[in-house]
Structure 1
Amino acid sequence: MDRLVEAEVRAAIARTPAVVVVSGAAGMGKSTLVARVVASAPHAVRVVVDCRALPDEPFVVVRELVRLLPTSGADVVAAIEAARGRADYRTCAALRDLLTAAGPAVLVVVDDVDRADRTSREVLRCCASRPPDGTALLVTHSAGHPRWGSPGVTHRFDLGPLTPEEIGVAGDRGAEVHRLTGGVPLFVAAVLAHVRPEDGEPGGALSAKGIPEELRVFAEERLRGVGARRLVAAAALLRGAFPADVPAEMCGMAVDKAEAALLRAADQGVLVALEDGTFEFRPPVLGLAVAATLSATDRRRGHAAAARVLERRGGAVRELVHHCRAAGDVVGMARHAERAADRAVRSDDPETAVDLLRTVLREPALPRRTRASLAGRLGRLALGSLAYGETLHLLHEIVSDDLLPDGVRGELRLHLGLLLGNQAGDGEAQRAQLKTAIRELRRRPLLAARAMSALAVPYWGSERVDEHLGWLAAAERTVPARGDPALLMAVRVNRASVLLELGDPRGWDAVAALPAAATPGERQELARGFVNFTDAATSSGHYRAAAECHARAEELGAGPSYLRHMSTSHGLRLALATGRWSGLDHAAREHLVRTAGAPFAAAGASLVLAQLAVARGEWAEAEEYLRAPGLRWASGWCAPAVVAAAATRVRLALARERPDEAGEELARALDVVRHKGVWAWATELVDAGVQALLPDAEAAARLLAEFTADVTARDCPFAHATIPGCRAAIAATHARFTEAAALFTQSAELLAALPRPYERARAVESAARARLAAGQDAVAEVTEAGRTFTALGATWDAARCDHLAREHGGSTGPRPGRRGYGAQLSPREREVARLMALGRTNREIAEVLFLSPRTVERHAARVLHKLGVTTRDQLEPR
């Protein structure tokens, strides 16, 4: 209750004569407010009349008031008798005289005056027009403000619902309590007292624990004056808005009669009549309370009737499942859940069906076979869903049932294993479950082959690549010629994925040999395949093919699901590699928000943001992004993005002049790559590793030789383009600058053909440095590299090139003759402003931009002046 309103009411009744009207819908706390005010009122005489407790007879409220006053009310009674059931002025005057005689300080409270009989309301309104001196009349009213009193003596207050903040419960729980209760104080207090945080989501907890007694009593009171109570209670079983003909059909009543009865109930405040002709219980907890007035048997029958009616009308599957479950019809519930699962496959939207299937699987009365069948559907659908935690728990529970046949358990375990790897990121647990599933699926070869093909994917587990290839061969031997088209497609997709990931020249032939998708299940598997192919092609350097695969995945439609998020993640990495950096940081940050709680779907975005941050000299931000769970070696998770993240950490440590840190990160990453035996993913790592090892040129050469020996025969254009640049770096260490310049130029040309513009610009810069070291003129090449970095937004790299060009009499900045920037920030000032907003000191900015601290100080002063701020704290990151 609003304490401010309470204080204002106290102040109003203290200044007599006074008429105070407190309005508010039922449950808003009017009676509570009255009780608190009366308890502390200073008036000598305090009389409270509760109109809800009195019969609807002429003058009954006035008679009750006369009875409670301490002085004789004979004159009022005589006037009532003479009025013969009609309110008249004599009765009003007699009551006013009685109040004056009871003085000098009288407080009269009439609670719920709109429930009073008509004649009493008219007499009280008459008295309120000229209240006696020393008298305060406090009335509460449930609907609007009654036109009582006169100017100067009347005070009106309206009690409204609580806001979500006023409820005092934070987060999603507070929002759900507000949705359920509409913020009505009575309802809020009852729900919070009844449902504890440990009970889970408030709506579900109310369904499980039952409605609080005070809400059931409230509903009973609301229903007391409503006809067709059975119809209204049956309607309360429906969730959301409903037309009158649905409860009418449930109760076997004519539609026009049902509509009239519902309108009367709306007049009584039991429900709300909407503009489109439908009805709704507002807030939802009122509908739950009305439904709770039915006996358990009648509720069950009502839910069964609702299910029958809604099924005939093609109602929402979620509602059909809800009503069947409440009716105890587990067979019907399972049937509708299966329909939802089938529809989800067709619509590429697994989230709703996954939620429904989990709801159904919580039902302990489900037959074992039905439970296993639904769990199988859940496992298949959950592979495309971000919400995997509860599904994992359910599948763990179901596969532990020893009475399930091996084939059924093996299928469920297959889905469990795939979820553990793909969504939860636990590769070791995934492989253990898949290996057990293969033994359980000995009589179901297609499913066994599906499990083997998953074990062939080298991203998961600590095994060497030879073991993955062994599982691929086993899958090819096991897979039958015929069977479920979606499973056959899944095995073929995995084979093509593994070959591409390893740089096997047969990979693209395997992609080309994939059949067209004829069924929704095949389409989903093919979409998954092209998402995987995008990742493999991006890592190996087939960027045009990667773009085609990404477009094909989008065309097949991955749906608003885990697969769609993975596709987006790979698309972000592809954009980074091919130099499409404009707006890329914003898109990556948005993706992180959408995939919160799904670290492996978010890994690509975190990597992109980290690499952008390194290119801009934002060391702390890069370090933070590289801490993302999906970018660490953990639980048997080893993928191209993880290796690229390790390479980025090495580059970051070198940029910050921390060679020991770079060496430690490189050693850890190389241990994993060597053990795994997948060098096709290690191009960025070897490139950064050679730079880190250059103080020991022989060690750098050994690493490069090891890498070259593995990837030479592989289909890895990015690796092949990078090798000459690594050889050039080693040659430059031995002062063979002309040779180094030629090798760097060769690498730049190969990188341009891919294309990888950022890496090409680095190679052009390195070639220019080698030529300058050899005494040749190479300022034009430095300028070219710097302008490429500037166009990309690689601030740190551009500043480094500009510094080098200035050392040799050139510049990578704007060409001479350009006009000034006036009140606008210059490009250099924008760079300084961005780093200032990130909290960098002048010295730190100077190090990133290759400027002197004094120069940065001048830029910083101009930034503050142009932006009209006085401190750095007022700057926002751009």
Structure 2
Amino acid sequence: MTARLLPARQPHSVFVGRAAELAELSRLVTDPPALVLIEGEAGVGKTRLVRESLRGQEIAARAVLVGGCQPMREPFPYGPVVDVLRETAPLLARVADSLSPIAGALRPLLPELSGLLPPEPPKGDAAVERHQVFRAVRELLAAYGPAVLVLEDLHWADEGTQDLLRFLMFPRIPDLALVATYRREAYPAGERSLLGDVPHLLADEHTTLLRLRPLEPADVGVLAAGLLGAQDVPHGFAAELHHRTAGIPFVIEEVLREFREIGGEPGSWALDLVDIPVLLRDTMADRLGRLGPTVTAVVHAAAVLDAPASEEDLAAVSGLSPRLVSGAVSEALAAAVLFEIGTARYALRHPLARQAVDVAIPGPRRRELHARAADLLVARKDRALVRLAHHYRQAGDLANWLSRTVAAADHAGEVGDTAFALWVLETALADDALPARALRTLAVRLSRVAANGLAQAGTVARLGALLRDGSLSGPDRGEVRINLGRVLMNQAGRIEEGQSEIEMAVHDLADRPALAARGAAALVLPAFGWRAISGHTGWLAKARQLAAAARCDDELEMVLRANHLTLLADTGDPALRPMVDELPRSSRSPRIRRQLVRAFNNLADSLCWIGRYTEAREMLRVSSTLMADSDVPYLSMLSTGTALRLDALTGSWDTLAADATHLVEQAGEMPSLAMDAWLTLAWVATARGERDEAGRQLNSAYGASPETAPFLLAISACRVANALAHGDVAAAAVGADRALRRVRAKENWLWGADLVPQAVRAFQRVGRGEDATRLVAEYEEGIAGRDAPLAAAAAVLARALVTADRRAALDGLLRAADAYAELPRPHAAAVTAEDAAAVAVELGDESLALARFGAAAAGYTALGNTRDADRCRRLSLRFRPARPTGRKAYGDELSPREREVVEFVAAGLTNRQIADELFLSPRTVEHHVSRAMRKLRVSSRTAFASAVNPS
């Protein structure tokens, strides 16, 4: 059963040059689950390839569902998929009884099929309803299987459709083969598209990307022979045809159709007889001229509407009577100028044909047609705002063009399609006819969308150009500067530049204190740039002063509150905890929810840097519950980055590489949004001793955001650690000095928690022991009174590293290892435990050395660092007591083996880990633990530590 038939082609059109692609496509569509992406420029033969694959006998028993996306892209969710499903009543009737209640979610989208669908499930919020629709589509397609779903022209798909397709792809529907065609070059700049996922999609043998390219001269000759009804054509003719058409099959067909009409003979010179421009303009004009003025008027109307149109639509735009339109449509269909798309809707076959017709319409007539098209659309309840704006612009009605453009951008923002909103506004701003006042209005709107959406490099450049060329002044310039500054800081990683824009904006907005307060608030966040903490505190005071003068509203108050909390979190201020507890977890106002998302995101980021990992995860959880309604895409990516850092630091490494790679792909033209991904990969590579890999990831991380203070200090700490691990102590010491100057300039020692211990080691190894000791004292003073667990652990470790008394040093290392384990920072805990074991060896405390080596080995093993774990196990072998040759009764005393097991338990090892260490079975270890608990009169494993080492 075919839900939607593709337009029929001329029977004499042969299929050439695609044998390999056809074989691959046929293999996959008959072996679901499968995904085939077919990419190629306009007219290259994507549709023909799909049709050929669907002719095979293997397809006969499958449901074939074919739909297409429309060229006037607008934020109308799921349009092409809904169109396909609307035609599947016979299929649905067969499976209706087997559908679950979730299929009822499609009732609002498919009213024609409501009688066959279950009742609509209860309404939820937008995210829940969206998920229900996605699940319902999946269930319906699964029920129709085995099936082939073809979606043509995916480059025109709305973002909702693309999200739905991603949902259908993972996990795959067992009996569904999904085929999608698209033109890469047709994607608007900055648009989020399925193409961004191609590397991830092409991961198995059931997925392929077929890139169709123009035909080679030999294939052009075969196609020409078939189209001309000849056995073959001369080589020169084929070469000239290839030259004139660039080998694009559709253009070849159009040229040769005209060539047949003039009755030419195929020679190398014969094409000169056909007056055909490269893009078919003259050819289309000639054909329309022969079809007569009535058909031409209808085709002109179809070209202006630029979407499948009914006869009534064509009559309204052309100004002809329904009777004349009906006859003209029949003639145009017969001449293959118009094609029926769906049921009783007509359009030019291809954008090239539409453009060829459009440019041939006289200017006054074209404006008249666009005015009628606008009147037609404006009378509809479901009018497409972008298309309406386009018609008004072409009609010369600038006032309506601008109002509809603004409305289209606002609507796109409301439905979450910020990329489309940016495209609408940027397109309008590029129009030379834009009046100066309207330019200022659109520029301000563009800056707002960019600041709250996910801007592209082109958007940043356009806003910068508007500021430089004098187009903006006064408050408009100030607001654009603030929003551009936010984009530069939050998304582009150009911190100093962004801060400068905002500082200038505050001066521009002297008469608008509320907006100036927002700008000043953006300069409160300490992580941005290298200005001292005191400077950020000063901007907080300035922002509050401006807000008071403006009698700030609730949203501005929440902005200030969020940034103040971030400042407190970054500096480990003990006053933070009760203030966070008082922060609302939700709000009825979308604007307040947006600020709450930002607040909790920022808090998670800040708490992660200072070692309050459990609270950071809680902040991310709260942020996530608010995120669906906030509509700030870049915050979602920053949240993902913070979660990656938390996973890396706390030892959750299983999916880290894949998750980080996905974030890098999502970031696209804004690499600063992927800085956390590269940093986490560098951390793991450093921990595993993979110096080259760590270096590559650190370089990428630094290039993404060299002006984010805690981030750059983390990179520096990683570089120093790598240099030390590979014996380059001079590089380690120089790098430490450079990074420490940054810390001192920033006045926030909390962000030096990973750097300072590495710097101490570097200074000691180059003979700068006094510098190391002074650094520790300076660090301890810098973090005094701060609520920052990571800094506290680092201070204990750093002090232990410079302590001359080895017993005191050992005690410090043990306390530091426990502190890192408590955070948790498992890798740091394992490294410090190994350091403690080494000092215990120096002091002759073999029992403690054995326990600490065991704890380190267990920590490394849990992280997958087998080389480090093996090293610790080898070192511990020398301290294990020899096994006695005969049995001995120990009564209530621990046997050597029991004591050995108890020491491992006290070190935190599990029975399985102890079994691996002692080459015993877990069951045997369990017996030893049980007897030891009885002999020592303890009731828990945690009590072993004090029982074995009562001091």
Give the TM-score of the pair, scaled to structure 2. Answer: 0.62
CA displacement at 1:671 relative to structure 2: 1.0
Is the 1:495–1:510 contact (alpha carbons within 8 Å) kept by the matching residues of 2? no
Code of the aligned partner of 1:221: D
- Aligned counterpart for 2:348 among listed residues 270, 281, 290: 281
Paired residue for 2:854? Answer: 783
Residues 74-223 of structure 1: pairs in structure 2 closer than 5 A: 155=231, 184-185=251-252, 215-223=280-288
2:561 is aligned with 1:489: no
Match of 1:672 among 742, 748, 761: 742
Q: 2:822 aligned with 1:753, yes or no?
A: yes
How many Å apart are 1:353 and its aligned residue? 0.6
Q: The residue matched to 1:775 in structure 2 has which SS?
A: coil
Structure 1 position 713, deviation (Å): 1.2
Give the structure with higher Rg (CA). Answer: 1
Amino acid at match of 1:293: A
**SS of alignment partner, residue 272 of structure 1:** strand
Q: Which amino acid aligns with 1:789?
A: Y
User: What corresponds to 1:84 in structure 2?
Assistant: none
- Residue equivalent to 1:238: 305
Paired position in structure 2 for 1:570: 642
Query: Is 274-283 or 379-388 further displaced after alignment?
Result: 274-283
Per-residue deviation, 1:649? 0.5
Question: Contact (CA 8 Å) 2:860, 2:866: kept in 1 or not?
Answer: yes
Q: Structure 1: how far apart are the matches of 2:412 and 2:406?
A: 10
2:571 paired with 1:502 = yes
- Displacement of 1:465 in angstroms is 1.6
Is 1:646 matched with 2:711? no
User: Could you list the runs of 5+ residues in structure 1 that have no partner in the other structure?
Assistant: 7-25, 30-138, 149-153, 169-173, 190-210, 820-878
Superposed CA offset, 1:124-158 (max 9, x none): xxxxxxxxxxxxxxx99999879x8xxxxx84899
Q: Which residue of 1 aligns with 2:875?
A: 804
CA contact (8 A) 1:616 1:794 kept: yes
Equivalent residue for 1:533, pick from 562, 586, 603: 603
User: Structure 1 residues 352 and 488, CA, compared in 2 at 3 Å: closer, same or farther?
Assistant: farther
CA distance in 2, matches of 1:408, 1:701: 54
Match of 1:382 among 443, 450, 472: 450
Q: Gaps spanning 5+ residues in structure 2: where? A: 1-12, 18-41, 46-220, 257-275, 882-912, 922-951
Equivalents in 1 of 2:327, 2:733: separation in Å?
81
Out of 588, 613, 617, the residue aligned to residue 518 of structure 1 is: 588
Does residue 1:409 correspond to 2:474, yes or no? no
Q: 1:259 to 1:530 in 2, by over 3 A?
A: farther
Deviation of 1:297 (Å): 1.6
Aligned mates of 1:544, 1:235 — CA distance in 2? 61
Separation in structure 1 between the aligned mates of residue 813 and residue 479 of structure 2, nearest angstrom: 53
Alignment match, 1:440? 508
Cα drift, residue 414 of structure 1: 1.4
**Structure 1 position 814, deviation (Å):** 4.4
**1:742-794: per-residue Cα shift (whole Å, max 9, x none)?**
22222222223322222222222222222222212222332232222222223
Kindly provide the amino acid, as one letter, of the partner of residue 237 in structure 1. V
**Which residue number corresponds to residue 300 of structure 1?**
367
Deviations 1:271-300, CA, capped at 9 Å, x for gaps: 332345443433311111112221112222
**Structure-2 separation of matches of 1:577 and 1:799:** 22
Give the 3 Å change call, closer, same or farther, for CA 444–744 of structure 1 in structure 2: same
Which residue of the other structure, out of 334, 343, 349, is the alignment partner of 2:411?
343
Aligned to 1:706: 778
Q: 1:185 to 1:690 in 2, by over 3 A?
A: farther
Give the superposition deviation at 1:589.
1.3
C-alpha displacement at 1:484, in angstroms? Answer: 5.1
Q: Which amino acid aligns with 2:842?
A: A
Q: Which residue of 1 aligns with 2:84?
A: none
Q: Contact 1:351–1:561 at 8 Å: present in 2 too? A: no
CA distance in structure 2 between the aligned counterparts of 1:399 and 1:598, rounded to whole angstroms: 21
> Is 1:584 the equivalent of 2:656?
yes
**Helix, strand or coil: the match of 1:625?**
helix
Q: CA deviation at 1:626?
A: 0.6
* Post-superposition offset of 1:806: 4.7
The corresponding residue for 1:43 is none
Distance 1:788 1:219, change over 3 A: same
Distance 1:344 1:529, change over 3 A: farther
- Provide, for residues 652-704 of structure 1, a one-character-per-residue CA deviation record: whole Å limited to 9, x for no partner: 11111111111111111111111111212111111221222223333222112
2:332 is aligned with what amino acid? A
1:110 maps to what in 2? none
The one-letter code of the counterpart of 2:467 is V
Match of 1:779, SS state, is: helix
State the partner residue of 1:793: 864
Contact conserved, 2:227 with 2:253, CA < 8 A, in 1? no
Q: Using the alignment, how far apart are the partners of 1:28 and 1:420 within structure 2?
A: 40
Task: Call closer, same or farther: CA 1:183–1:689 in 2, change over 3 Å.
Answer: farther
Deviations 1:827-878 (A, max 9, x none): xxxxxxxxxxxxxxxxxxxxxxxxxxxxxxxxxxxxxxxxxxxxxxxxxxxx
Query: Using a 3 Å threshold, how does the CA distance of structure 1 residues 145 and 328 change in structure 2: closer, same or farther?
Result: closer
Match of 1:477 in 2: 545
How far apart, CA to CA, are the structure 2 residues paired with 1:243 and 1:622? 61
State the distance in 1 between where 2:859 and 2:400 align.
64
Partner SS for 1:421: helix
Equivalent-residue separation in structure 2 for 1:660 and 1:188 (angstroms): 72
Q: 1:798, 1:244 → 2: CA distance?
A: 76
Percent of paired sites with the same residue: 33
Is the Cα–Cα contact under 8 Å of residues 263 and 273 in structure 1 kept in the other structure? no
Shift of the alpha carbon at 1:267? 3.0
Residue 225 of structure 2 is aligned to residue 225 of structure 1: no
Following superposition, the deviation at residue 808 of structure 1 comes to 4.8
Out of 475, 491, 498, which is 1:423 matched to?
491
The 1:678/1:701 distance shift into structure 2, 3 A limit, reads: same
Paired AA for residue 433 in structure 1:
E
Point out the more displaced range, 400-409 or 315-324: 400-409
Distance 1:741 1:5, change over 3 A: closer
Deviation of 1:594 (Å)? 1.8
Point out the more displaced range, 552-561 or 764-773: 552-561
Please say if residues 747 and 763 of structure 1, whose CA atoms lie closer than 8 Å, have aligned partners that are also in contact: yes
Residue of 276, 281, 291 corresponding to 2:358: 291
Q: Distance in 2 between matches of 1:741 and 1:183?
A: 79
Q: CA 1:520 to 1:27, structure 2 compared with 1: closer, same or farther past 3 Å?
A: closer
Judged with a 3 Å threshold, the aligned counterparts in structure 2 of structure 1 residues 816 and 375 are, in CA distance, closer, same or farther, namely same
Distance 1:802 1:261 in 2: 87
Check 1:738–1:437 CA distance in 2 against 1; reply closer, same or farther (3 A cut): same
- Structure 1 pair 454–583 and aligned structure 2 pair: CA distance change class (3 A): same
The Cα of 1:416 is off from its aligned counterpart by: 2.3
Q: Is the 8 A contact 2:679 2:701 kept in 1?
A: no
Q: Is the 8 A contact 2:529 2:709 kept in 1?
A: no
1:647 & 1:664 partners in 2: Cα distance?
12
> More displaced, 805-814 or 393-402?
805-814
Residue equivalent to 2:336: 269
Distance 1:685 1:219, change over 3 A: same
Across the aligned residues of Structure 1 and Structure 2, the Cα RMSD in angstroms comes to: 3.8
Q: Hey, what does 2:215 align to over in structure 1?
A: none
Residue 340 and residue 578 in structure 1: after superposition, are their counterparts in 2 closer, same or farther (change >3 A)?
A: farther
1:366 Cα deviation after fit: 2.6
User: Which position in structure 2 is the counterpart of 1:772?
Assistant: 841
Contact 1:417 1:431 in 2 (8 A): yes
**Would you say how many aligned residue pairs link Structure 1 and Structure 2?**
643
The question of whether the paired residues in 2 share the 8 Å contact of 1:489 and 1:525 is answered with yes
